[in-house]
Amino acid sequence: MRLHPNVLKGYRLSVLGIALVLLPAIGGCAKAPLMGKGTLRVVVTATSDCNNCGKSTGFPLTYRVLQVSDASALAGLSLTQVWDKEEKILGAALLKKTESYVDPGQKKELPVEREKGATAMIVVGNFCRTKGSCWNHVQPLSAGGTVKLSAGPNCFSVVK
Quote the CA–CA distance of 100 and 96 in Å, as a whole number: 14
> How does residue 23 score in pLDDT terms, banded at 50, 70 and 90?
very low
Residue 126 vs residue 25, higher pLDDT: 126
Residues 118-152 pLDDT 10s = 999 999 999 999 988 999 999 999 988 999 999 99
**Taking a C-beta distance cutoff of 8 angstroms, is the pair 158, 149 a contact?**
yes
Confidence of residue 34 (pLDDT cuts 50, 70, 90): very low
**pTM, two decimal places:** 0.77
Instruction: Kindly indicate the confidence band of residue 38, based on its pLDDT and cuts at 50, 70 and 90.
Output: confident
* Long-range contacts from 2-10, C-beta under 8 angstroms, 24+ separation: none
Q: How distant is the alpha carbon of residue 146 from its chain centre?
A: 11
Secondary structure of residue 28 in the 3-state scheme:
helix
Other Cβ atoms closer than 10 A to 115: 15
Query: In CATH terms, is domain 39-158 a member of 2.60.40.4150?
Result: yes
Closest alpha carbon to 80 in 125, 143, 141, 119: 125
CB-count burial class (<10 Å; 0-12, 13-18, 19+) for 108: middle
pLDDT digits (tens, 9 = 90+) for 76-95: 999 999 999 999 999 999 99
- List the domain boundaries for the chain: 1-30, 39-158
Mean pLDDT within 55-79: 96
